[in-house]
Structure 1
Amino acid sequence: MVRPPKQESQTQSPSRPFGMAGWVLLAVIGVVYTWSFIDRQVLTLLVQPIKADLGLSDTRMGLLLGFSFALFYSLMNLPAGYLIDRYNRRGLIAIGAVVWSAMTIVCGFARSFGQLFAGRAGVGFSESVIAPASFSLIRDAVEPSRRASAYSVLAMAPYAGSALALLLGGALLAAASDGRFSAWPVLGAMKPWQCVLIIVGAAGFPLTLLLFLVKEPARRVDVQGAKPAGYGQVWSHMKANGWIYFLLLSFTTLQAMLTFGSSAWLPALASRQWGLSPPQVGRVMGLAYLILPPIGLFAGGFVMDWLTARGRSLLDYGILASVISLIAIVAIPFAPTVELMWVAICVKLAFAGSFYAVGATILAQVTPSHLMGKQTALYLLAQNLIGQGMGPMVVALLSDRFFEGGHALGYGLATMAVVVGILATLVGVALRSVLMRWRSVD
């Protein structure tokens, strides 16, 4: 039996009403977090034109979509967690936003695989601060009974960002392809995909100013006299509650691999199997990303708060949602019509983000406030290095090495989804059992 970690003391950390200031904080974080995903995900819509222009294979595109970003994102996670537990989190996010916007512009000027790889690495390096800082800010600003809803709102940012990346990216790509920017300085000499990256990067600079509209919330005190700790104390806390953290990291990492691996290739899959142009894919898929994940996450947040209030496990919903998402992902490449493909994609989008809110809420439950920044950094390290880094890469390798023809990418995606999805479900069931025993001991 694992030893229960210390819970938040209500006398030391009284519940704070999540009023207007809290919603403004959450909204500003959400907007900046959303734009970080536009910078991160717009490349998925540009796979086909970049491949044609630079002569790249699926495997090399997999490196650009996943590994180049995820490796450097993950390497910076640990020092980012250290800084987040000690310094102003709002300021750290602002610095990161300026740098990742600049690095997206660098990607736009790339003329080779190596240059694009370096630009993507820079985006990953600078975006490493946004997630752990956001987790820490919400933990301190929101009382425990409302956290599932707050983290569910935050979990909409990746999907809103992905939606806007597809919608905005598709519109900009169409405009650039039609010569709308041919008379503009700098952009006139660029390929259409380069114009998209430069414009998206430049638009991120003014959004940074929103961070100065909110105040840094006071840090909660869960352990009297606790000060920001080093990673040694974090490791000791993890060892004392080992099975919870091992299973939680395994569950969310496998879910991230499934989610990022499928999302990275869906635009290219729709183009190859059904002959749709990138702007066409961007319009339809962008609207689906914009509408369905928020509905699923809003509903999931209320369901999880309802389960928490009744002493039930969040994983009752999390496991069900992950199974539905798995079935939908496997169905996408085998859909007999383009309409049924879109239906399967919509089902996937409505349920795929549940692991994010479930994992973040459980992490906040079992981690003291003074360890939250570094613990979140370790939590995200696994998700991003393995989940985001390997997910797109595994799909590409399966497609290039084991399958042939126009459906090779779809078969690679389905193979990855079946293996990873089943493992994630089994780990989720084990995590639910451990958490229920932990609660009974506590």
Structure 2
Amino acid sequence: MSATTARDARGSDSAGYRAWVLFVLILVYTFNFIDRQIIGILQVPIKAEFGLTDLQVGLMSGFAFALFYAGIGIPVAALADKKNRVVIMTAALTIWSFFTAICGAAQNYAQLFLARLGVGVGEAGGVAPAYSLIADSFRPNQRSRALAAYSFGIPIGSAIGIILGGVLLSYLDWRAAFIIVGLAGLPLAPLLLFTVKEPERGRFDAKPVTPVGQQSTLRGLIEVLKVLARKPSFWGLSLGAACSSMMGYGLFLWVPSFLMRSFGGELASFIAFMPDALVPDNAGPLLYAAYFYGAVVLIGGIAGIWLGGMLSDKFGVERKSAYALVPAAAFALTVPFLAVAVLTPSLGLVFLAMIVPTALGLVWLGPVISAFQHLVPPHMRATASAVFLFINNLIGIGVGQPAIGLISDQLAASYGDESLRYAILTGCVFYVAAAGLMALTAPRLKNDWEGG
């Protein structure tokens, strides 16, 4: 579809073209999270084969990924604020898909750790440019919902990664699973490159776009940091989201193991109603855990993300503080439901109770990511988003996943296989911190808003 035929009389893209762009970006983001989160189920046989501790698993899946993902994301996003964002995202997609497949060739812990570093390198260029593209494709009063819809890639990709990993392990092994999902992402590269066009920056914003000219990437980053230094709400939102992500990403990694360790054979009752074609003859607790938690993530994640985007678009027009207050309320409500989910001995209640904190824990995505697009001028959006992603992922993935693993290791002597149950419960304190930071940030948003 050409850029000229996709525009209406007002110079903006047609509704059909905008829907297509959002669909492609969601599809790419879905594969981003399939490749990122499939290790949540594959880590069970990986841990057994390599003889790893929970801390080592957390470092491999979280810290190894976050180290390069967070660091490289900022210069890549600074480049995206000057150059073609679609081309940059296409390159990123190709790189992370390739390194996901390379994970399947690892013969020891060190090799797998390095391959995960490569996945992080690729995914560093996949998200911040997409935020900026969406902001330039949708008007301000539609952005929270558009960004929330984009964020559907998180629960959809995570659920597919968890379930597909479990299914592939039933027929093949963890190495084949990495290779298959990695190679599956490569055909998306030409789809993104040749059907999504680079939009004009800031075309829906009240303030004119400041030309970046030949400004160097370093100087551009410095200018963005100067602007952000005057925006306390940016740092409050970033740290609040990071605290929540310590649990959000931690749950993605550790809940399948928690289910297997604490419920084991009981999980078979959950999928008794499923068609036989979806349950191999050699199915065991690992596949049952994959179906169980995949369903929780899919149902709860989509509901929570859409709720957050809808509420912030509705109330944020009159009160900018809503972009922080909506997530604050959601985080506060997450704690009691998560406590019930991990403490109950009833597997049925675990399922129902886990859906609620999964939903509430992802409410923040639409409002917070939308707010970031309004805290800086349009030509700084990708870089500012990357600074946020640096904070969120370095703390959320890099610290959160290993922290829960470390707590589990420390509690193992006292609680045995139940140590993950209490490690997850301990992590609820991070949701409390996230709620407090969001509430404190809310009054500052009005003064930091750039308009539009």
Alignment match of 1:358 (pick from 348, 362, 367): 367
2:420 is the counterpart of 1:409: yes
Check if 1:215 corresponds to 2:205. Answer: no
Select 2:233's aligned residue among 238, 244, 263: 244
Q: For 2:408 and 2:422, locate their aligned partners in 1 and report how far apart those are by CA, in whole Å.
A: 7
State the match for 1:195 in structure 2.
176
Match of residue 397 from structure 2: 388
Measured in 1, the distance between the counterparts of 2:76 and 2:426 equals 35
Give how far 1:226 is off.
2.7
Contact 1:16 1:143 in 2 (8 A): no
Cα offsets for 1:88-129 (capped at 9, x unmatched): 111111111111111111111111000000110000111011
* Equivalent in 422, 427, 430 of residue 432 of structure 2: 422
SS of equivalent residue, structure 2 residue 165: helix
Mapped to 1, the partners of 2:324 and 2:112 lie a distance apart of 39
How many residue pairs get matched? 412
- Partner amino acid for 1:408? S
Runs of 4+ residues deviating >4 angstroms: 14-18, 436-442
Secondary structure of 1:407's aligned partner: helix
Letter in 2 for 1:42: I
Partner of 1:103: 99
Kindly provide the amino acid, as one letter, of the partner of residue 400 in structure 2: G
Match of 2:67 in 1: 71
Q: 2:443 maps to which residue?
A: 433
Which residue is equivalent to 2:310?
A: 302
Describe the SS at the equivalent of 1:309.
coil
Q: Which residue of 2 aligns with 1:171?
A: 167
Residue in structure 2 matched with residue 135 of structure 1 by the alignment: 131
Assess if the C-alpha contact under 8 Å between 1:328 and 1:347 holds in 2.
Answer: yes
Q: CA deviation at 1:441?
A: 12
> Cα deviations across residues 393-428 of structure 1 (Å, max 9, x unaligned)?
11011111244312111111111222x111111111
**What is the TM-score of this pair, normalised by structure 1?**
0.89
Counterpart CA distance in 1 for 2:445 and 2:367 is 13
440 and 346 in structure 1: CA distance in 2 versus 1, 3 angstrom threshold = same
Equivalent in the alignment of 2:286: 278
How far, CA to CA, are the matches of 1:423 and 1:200 in structure 2?
A: 36
- Gap runs ≥5 in structure 2: 1-9, 268-284
Aligned to 1:376: 385
1:81: which partner in 2?
77
SS at match of 1:149: helix
| CA–CA distance in structure 2, aligned partners of residues 104 and 341 of structure 1 | 32
Q: Which moved more, 1:395-404 or 1:196-205?
A: 395-404
State the Cα deviation string for residues 356-396 of structure 1 (Å, max 9, x = none): 21210111121111111111111100001111111111101
Alpha carbons 1:297, 1:354 under 8 Å: kept: yes
Matched letter for residue 218 of structure 1: E
Q: Which amino acid aligns with 2:77?
A: G
**Contact 1:15 1:143 survives alignment (8 Å):** no
What displacement does 1:205 show?
Answer: 1.0
Aligned counterparts of 2:66 and 2:450: Cα–Cα separation in 1: 38
Would the alpha carbon gap of residues 306 and 174 (structure 1) be closer, same or farther in structure 2, given more than 3 Å must change?
same
Write the distance in 2 (CA, Å) between the matches of 1:398 and 1:124.
25
What is the rounded CA distance, in whole Å, between the counterparts of 2:126 and 2:38 in structure 1?
A: 18
Q: Distance in 2 between matches of 1:400 and 1:310?
A: 48
Aligned position for 1:234: 224
Residue 22 of structure 2 corresponds to residue 26 of structure 1 = yes
Shift of 1:436: 4.6
User: Within 1, Cα distance between the matches of 2:450 and 2:55?
Assistant: 48
How far is 1:215 from its partner?
1.3
The answer to whether the 8 A contact 1:293-1:350 is kept is: yes
Question: What is the alpha-carbon distance in structure 1 between the residues aligned to residue 297 and residue 335 of structure 2?
Answer: 17
**Aligned counterparts of 1:98 and 1:395: Cα–Cα separation in 2:** 31
What's 1:346 paired with?
355
The alpha carbon displacement at 1:299 in A equals 2.9
Contact 1:35 1:204 in 2 (8 A): yes
One-letter amino acid of the counterpart of residue 80, structure 2:
I
Structure 1 equivalent of residue 33 of structure 2 = 37
Q: Deviations over 1:214-266 (max 9, x none)?
A: 2111111644543266112112111222x212212111111211211222101
What is the letter of the counterpart of residue 90 of structure 2?
Answer: A
Partner of 1:262: 251
1:54/1:111 contact within 8 Å kept: no
Instruction: Please list every run of 5 or more consecutive structure 1 residues that lacks an aligned counterpart in the other structure.
Output: 1-13, 177-191
Q: Percent identity?
A: 29
More off after superposition, 406-415 vs 432-441: 432-441
Task: Give the residue type in structure 2 aligned to 1:214.
Answer: V
CA distance in 2 between partners of 1:33 and 1:439 (Å): 27
Q: Is the 8 A contact 2:309 2:365 kept in 1?
A: no
Give the AA of the match of 1:314.
Y
Letter in 2 for 1:202: L
What is the one-letter code of the residue matched to 1:231?
Answer: L
- The one-character-per-residue Cα deviations of 1:153-198 (angstroms, maximum 9, x if unpaired) are 011111110011012112111122xxxxxxxxxxxxxxx1111111
Greater Cα offset, 264-273 or 428-437: 428-437
CA distance in 1, matches of 2:53, 2:32: 26
**Partner residue, 2:270:** none
Distance 2:198 2:446 in 1: 34
Which AA in structure 1 matches 2:424?
Answer: L
Q: Is the 8 A contact 2:337 2:357 kept in 1?
A: yes
Letter in 1 for 2:185: G
Given that residues 318 and 355 in structure 1 are in contact (C-alpha distance below 8 angstroms), is that contact kept between their aligned partners in structure 2?
A: yes
1:11 maps to none
Question: Matches of 2:348 and 2:79 in 1, distance apart?
Answer: 48
Q: Give the stretch that moved more between structures: 384-393 or 250-259.
A: 250-259
